[in-house]
Structure formats: C-alpha cells, structure tokens
Amino acid sequence: MTTAPTRHLLVVDDQAQVPRLIAALLGEGYRVDGAASAASALAVLEDRLFDVVLTDLAMTDIDGIELIRRARRRDPDTPFVVFTAQASVESAVAAMREGAFDYLRKTASSSELRAAVDRAIQHGSLSREVRRLRSEVERARGTSDVIGQSRIMRDLMSLVERVAPSDASVLILGESGTGKELLARTIHRMSHRRDGPFVAFDCSALAPSLLESELFGHEKGAFTGAGRARRGLFREASGGTLFLDEIGDIAPEVQNKLLRVLQEREIKPVGGDSFVKIDVRVLAATNKDLRSLVARGSFREDLFFRLAVVPIHVPPLRERREDIPLLSAHLLSRRRAPGHDKRWPTRLSSGALAKLASYPWPGNIRELENVLWRAAILSTGDEIVEQDLPALETRGESRALLLAGLPAQGKAPGRKLKEIVEDAVRAVERQAIRDALIQCGGSPTRAARLLCISRASIYNKMKEHGIVG
C-alpha cells in the first residue's frame, strides 16, 4: 500500500500558537510551517512552494487580503484559505475577490478544516497541471516560433526583445494572417509574466453590452440571464497578459470603459459597486488602419495612445519574400500529421519556390500555410513540385489597376464606359470572394459571413465566377 505524500501548509497568523493548533487539528499527513506576519510569509513564499496557505485576515503589518494579492501575483497557483475569527461576509467576499479559494472560521472543527485544506490542495494541483499542459500544447503547436531571417523581420524581433520585458502596452498592426497573434504570444513568453496566463480575446465577436461583461465581469443578477457572477477576462488574465484582438472593432461605450481601466488599473464588474485592482499587461492587435479611425472620430485618440505605447507593424509577406523558403519548411514540418499513411514532403523544388515567391499573398502566412498543406496532401514524393501547387494568380504590385479592369481597356479601345465599369465591378467581386475564401481556409460559409452575404449568394457567386470551392 502506498502512503499519501505529506501535504505542506504555511499558516500565517500573528498569534504564535495558531500554527501549532492547526497542526494538532489536522493530525498526521500534514506538515505545518508558521509565519508570524504577512511580510515574513511573503519572504518564505519567495523561497519555497507550499501546497496551501492558511491566513488570518487582521494582522498588524500587511493584512491578509493584501498578502493574497501580492503572493498570487508571483504564484497564481498556490491556493489560499482565509482562516479568521472575524466572521464578516464583506471580508470573506474581499478575500475571494483577490483569489482566495475558501474561507473558514477559526471555530471550524478538525474535519471541516481537513476537508477545506484538502479541497484547496486538489484545486492548486489541478491549476498547476492545467498550466503545464497549456504550455506543452503551446510548444507542440509551435506557436512560439517566429520564423524570419529577412532584414525587416530581424529588426522587428529586436524591437520585440526590447519591449517584451517591460509592462508597456503594445499595439500590433498588420494585415490579416501576418502573425499578429503569434507575436503577442511571443511577447508574453519573453516577459516576466510568462508563467502567468495568456488570455486572447477577439473583440469583434460580441455585442457591446456582452463585451463589457466579458472583459470586466459581472455580479450575479447584473442583467437578465446573468444567473452567476463572472470574473471577466481582466481578472482571468491576472498576473499575465490579456491580448485584445480586433481592437479596431470595439464600440465607443466600451472604448470609454477600457480607457478608464487602463488609466486607473482597476475594474468595476457590471452591476458591482466597488472597484477591483488588476495586474494585467494589455496587448492589442488590429488589421484596420487605427489612425484613420481616430481621424474619422470612430476610435478615441487617448485610447489609441494608451494602447500604442509601443506600436509594432508586422509587414505583409510580400515585403519579405526572402523568408518564404524558411517559412515554408517550418510550416510543412509543423503540419506533418503523426501517423499520416504516406510520406509527408518537407522540401520544395526550386520551381515550386519560385512560384511561391512571385505571388503577392493577400492572405499572408495563413494563406501560405493553406496552400502548402493542400500541396503536401496532393504530392506524391518527398518534395513539393510546381505542379502540386494550385494556380496562383500573379497579380503584380499594381493590383488595384488590374482589379479595376484598366489593362483590358488597351486591348479593346472604344468600349463603352458602362461596360468598363461592369467588368471592373465583376473583377473586384471575384477577387473579394477569392480573398475571403483564402482568409477563411476555403470555407464558403465563413467567407459568406465575412462578406455579409448569405450562404446561397456565395455559392451562386462562386459558380458565376468559376471559383471552385
């Protein structure tokens, strides 16, 4: 029979006999260390890991709530149980808000105490396990490798290295599929918050009223349907980084609240009446031209400057074509499916590379990834050759002119203006549908949503333009 490992507790109380009392109440299988003040508890927690911390609330130097706040900033996984003579509901609520796991009166029986301690320990080991698995998944997905040897990417990475260790807000700008989210994860991983959570959220996904409670949380019953209280993403990201994607899409009323939160570093949950301090680094991204939104008055200028303490522009793939060979090899090896029943190509012929290098990549790296994946499935050898690649239309740099159908004018002088315009509209429509399909990984349903048309219309249009789904 195996014996359960000894559970290690830290008891924080300015009355010296309390740790001994708790050790006696818990009995065998528990080791109890004592700290006579919050300051000495913080010093001990700096050096050693405990399975659970029991703390009094009213202490002379730093109180229990402040202790929880400071300790959880360094290590959000060690659970805290508040253990106090005061039985006030307000202090219990305040302690839970700072992340205490449970709340016990000093009059608790030994079985109540043991049950609370064991529950907290189990919770702590689960949250450590989740964090470990999360970082393993991250490694396995390879999301942390930013590939690029071009001059422009090396300059960008040197900026990232300088800005990552600070707590400055970073605004990541760039076209769709250029790697904005990957960069945000990389900044988090390179920062002192790397062991804290990385919470990514797409701000365009929710209506303003829901977005507010998603970000700042809400109290139970704050609005119809709010059956349970919600902590909100700012608190979920505590000790870590909150990545606000598609920031250009947030409504003016949420912009006002977000600005306040960034200025004051505290949030007020929807329906709540008090403020809660937050400890979060905010990174934001958009593929919109935020400056022109500011100029048009649809994005607050002061919020723009708060978010863009350091702006980072991720260049489109067509401005760093020299990275295509390295990126392709990386993307191919990352997509290699375990147990794939045929050989998965890891190389590209020079003809295939030349073809990739001459295409303007409107969907950037995500589009490159899709094209390579498809080619890898179609290829028969261990090298992708030109014929494995789909017909990539080379539209050159003067895409706007091509789209407007202007080159056709030369071939057919004297055409009616109406015809020229109709041709141009058709060309733009075809291109918009193709681009949307590429952006959406080939899914007509998602592309239809992106273009704000019905599913039936996109299928009709695809047929009309000879686009194969």
Ligand X SMILES: Nc1ncnc2c1ncn2[C@@H]1O[C@H](COP(=O)(O)OP(=O)(O)OP(=O)(O)O)[C@@H](O)[C@H]1O
Q: Does 366 bind ligand X (CB under 6 A)?
A: yes
Whichever of 366 and 461 has its CB closer to ligand X, that residue is: 366
**Residue 177 near ligand X by CB under 6 A:** yes
Among residues 59 and 183, whose Cβ is nearest to Mg ion? 183
Tell me: does residue 181 bind Mg ion (CB under 5 A). yes
Which one of the spans 95-103, 131-139, 180-188, 348-356 is the region binding Mg ion (CB under 5 A)?
180-188
Structure tokens at 225: 């349907």
Q: Shortest Cβ distance from residue 327 to ligand X (Å)? A: 6
Q: Is residue 287 a contact residue for ligand X (CB under 6 A)?
A: yes
Rounded to the nearest whole angstrom, what is the least distance from the CB of residue 385 to Mg ion in the complex? 32
The reply to whether 202 sits near Mg ion by the rule CB under 5 A is no
User: Does 170 contact ligand X by CB under 6 A?
Assistant: no
64, 99, 174, 269: residue in contact with ligand X (rule CB under 6 A): 174
What's the closest the beta carbon of residue 237 comes to ligand X, in angstroms?
18
Shortest distance, position 373 Cβ to ligand X, whole Å: 11
Phi, psi at 424, each rounded to 5°: -65, -40
Of 15-23, 176-184, 252-260, 408-416, the window that binds ligand X (rule: CB under 6 A) is: 176-184
Segment 241 to 280, residues that bind Mg ion, using CB under 5 A: none
- Our finding on whether 67 is near ligand X (CB under 6 A) is no
Q: Give the binding range for Mg ion (CB under 5 A) out of 44-52, 148-156, 173-181, 416-424.
A: 173-181
In angstroms, what is the minimal distance from the CB of 167 to ligand X? 22
Nearer Cβ to ligand X, position 143 or 166?
143
212 binds, among ligand X, Mg ion, none (CB under 5 to 8 A by kind): none
Q: Which is nearer to ligand X, 313 or 463 (CB)?
A: 313
Which positions touch Mg ion (CB under 5 A)? Answer: 181
Residues that bind ligand X (CB under 6 A): 143, 145-148, 174, 176-182, 287, 327, 330, 365-366, 369
